[in-house]
C-alpha cells in the first residue's frame, strides 16, 4: 500500500469552553473559538500530522451566499425577534472542509404488502337489490434496484456540537462536483477556514451509519414503486454490493453560532447551497399576541351553543335568527383577527428586513 501523504494540522483547545478547534494553518498565531468566541494564542497549539484526502468537493457558494440564505430564512420565519440581526456577526461565519468517507454501490430490495381497492357488494332485499362500495385488500410484491453514493462524517469525537454533527453526518455525493485533491486547493491562511481530524474507522462508520442509509434508500425506492396507493403490512428486505468503501473526501460546509437572550442558536449550510438547517429564538410576546387572537376566534366559535338554550327557553325561530347573527359575527371576527395577526407578522418581518440591511 502506498504511503499516505500528510498535512500538518493544528489542534487548538479553547481555554473557555474546552472544545478542540482544528485548522490547517500552522503559521496562525491567534485563533477564535467558533463556539464561544474566545481568543487563544500559540502556546495552546499542538501540531500533528493528518492524511490528505483523495478527493474534495469544492465550495460553489461564497460567504455572501451563506449570509443571504441566513438572512432570508430568519426574515421569513415568523416569531423571530425583530432585533435578531444585532446578535449575529458576519465575522463569526466559519467555512469548513470536513472529513467524510465515500460509500458507493448498488442495492436490491424485495418488497411485499397489501394494497387497497374498492369493490361493490350486492345486497338483495325482499323487494330490491342494492350495491355498496367496500374496501378490499390484495397482495402486491415487487423488486427495486438502483445505485447509491453518499458521504458519512469521518469523525466520531466531540469537537463539534451535536446539531452540526447531525447535519454533516450524511451528505449526498455527486461525482460531477468532486475533484481529485491537489495542493493549493485550500487556502490554509484563511482565518475563517477550519477542518476536523479524520479519526473514525471507515468500517465502523459503515456499520454505524452507512448500512442504515442504504436500507432506507432501498425502502424508499420500494415505496416509490407502490406510489400513492393505500397499503398495509409493508415489508422490505434489502441487499447491497459495496463497490467503494471509505474513500477519503473533503466536503464543504458553512456555519455560524450566535447567542441571543442567554441561548445559543445556529445556522448551517452545505458548501454547494443545497441544504440548510437552523435554530432561532422565539419572540414570546408575538406568540402570545397571536394566541390571544386565536382564542378570541375560538370563543366566538363556541357561542353557537347558545342557540340550543334559546331554542329550549323560547322557540326554534329565535334560535335560528341567533344562529344567522352568530354566523355573520363569526365571519367578521375571524377576518378582523386574521387581519390583525397578518399585520403584526408583516410588521415584524419588515423590521427584521431593516435589521438585516444594516449588517
**pLDDT given for residue 10 in this prediction:** 46
To the nearest whole number, what is the mean pLDDT of the chain? Answer: 85
Residue 134 near residue 119, CB atoms below 8 Å: yes
> 31 pLDDT band (50/70/90 cuts)?
low
| Cell numbers standing for residue 87 | 446578535
Question: 233 pLDDT exceeds 60?
Answer: yes
**pLDDT given for residue 2 in this prediction:** 44
Q: Round to whole Å and give the CA distance between 101 and 310.
A: 73
pLDDT tens figures, 275-287: 999 999 999 999 9
Question: 125 pLDDT exceeds 90?
Answer: no
> 7 pLDDT band (50/70/90 cuts)?
very low
> 129 pLDDT band (50/70/90 cuts)?
confident
The owner of cell 465550495 is: 59
pLDDT tens figures, 137-161: 999 999 999 999 999 999 887 777 8
Q: Round to whole Å and give the CA distance between 276 and 61.
A: 13
Query: Average pLDDT for residues 22-38, to the nearest whole number?
Result: 58
Question: 49 pLDDT exceeds 70?
Answer: no
All residues at 6 or more sequence positions from 302 whose CB lies less than 8 Å from its CB, including other chains: none
Q: Round to whole Å and give the CA distance between 66 and 68.
A: 5
Query: Average pLDDT for residues 302-314, to the nearest whole number?
Result: 92
Question: 193 pLDDT exceeds 50?
Answer: yes
> 89 pLDDT band (50/70/90 cuts)?
confident
**pLDDT given for residue 186 in this prediction:** 78
Residue 95 near residue 166, CB atoms below 8 Å: no
Amino acid at each position: 500500500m502506498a504511503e499516505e501523504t500528510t498535512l500538518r494540522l493544528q489542534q487548538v483547545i479553547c481555554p473557555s469552553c474546552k472544545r478542540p478547534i482544528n485548522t490547517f494553518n500552522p503559521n496562525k498565531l491567534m485563533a477564535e473559538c467558533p463556539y464561544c468566541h474566545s481568543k487563544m494564542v500559540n502556546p495552546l497549539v499542538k501540531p500533528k500530522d493528518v492524511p490528505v484526502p483523495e478527493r474534495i468537493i469544492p465550495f460553489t457558494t461564497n460567504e455572501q451566499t451563506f449570509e443571504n440564505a441566513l438572512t432570508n430564512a430568519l426574515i421569513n420565519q415568523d416569531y423571530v425577534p425583530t432585533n435578531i440581526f444585532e446578535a449575529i456577526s458576519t465575522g463569526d461565519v466559519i467555512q469548513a472542509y470536513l472529513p467524510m468517507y465515500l460509500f458507493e454501490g448498488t442495492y436490491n430490495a424485495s418488497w411485499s404488502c397489501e394494497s387497497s381497492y374498492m369493490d361493490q357488494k350486492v345486497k338483495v332485499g325482499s323487494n330490491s337489490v342494492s350495491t355498496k362500495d367496500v374496501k378490499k385488500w390484495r397482495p402486491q410484491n415487487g423488486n427495486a434496484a438502483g445505485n447509491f453514493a453518499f458521504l458519512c462524517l469521518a469523525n466520531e469525537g466531540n469537537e463539534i456540537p451535536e446539531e452540526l454533527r447531525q447535519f454533516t453526518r450524511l451528505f449526498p455525493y455527486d461525482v460531477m462536483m468532486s475533484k481529485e485533491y491537489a495542493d493549493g486547493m485550500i487556502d490554509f491562511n484563511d482565518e475563517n477556514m477550519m477542518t476536523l481530524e479524520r479519526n473514525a474507522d471507515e468500517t465502523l462508520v459503515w456499520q454505524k451509519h452507512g448500512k442504515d442509509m442504504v436500507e432506507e434508500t432501498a425502502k424508499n425506492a420500494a415505496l416509490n414503486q407502490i406510489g400513492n396507493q393505500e397499503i398495509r403490512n409493508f415489508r422490505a428486505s434489502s441487499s447491497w454490493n459495496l463497490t467503494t468503501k471509505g474513500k477519503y473526501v473533503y466536503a464543504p460546509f458553512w456555519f455560524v453560532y450566535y447567542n441571543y437572550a442567554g441561548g445559543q442558536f445556529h445556522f448551517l449550510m452545505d458548501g454547494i447551497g443545497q441544504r440548510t438547517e437552523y435554530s432561532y429564538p422565539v419572540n414570546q410576546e408575538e406568540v402570545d399576541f397571536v394566541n390571544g387572537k386565536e382564542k378570541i376566534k375560538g370563543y366566538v366559535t363556541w357561542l353557537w351553543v347558545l342557540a340550543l338554550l334559546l331554542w329550549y327557553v323560547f322557540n326554534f325561530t329565535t334560535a335560528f335568527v341567533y344562529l344567522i347573527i352568530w354566523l355573520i359575527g363569526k365571519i367578521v371576527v375571524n377576518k378582523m383577527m386574521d387581519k390583525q395577526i397578518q399585520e403584526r407578522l408583516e410588521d415584524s418581518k419588515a423590521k427584521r428586513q431593516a435589521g438585516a440591511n444594516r449588517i
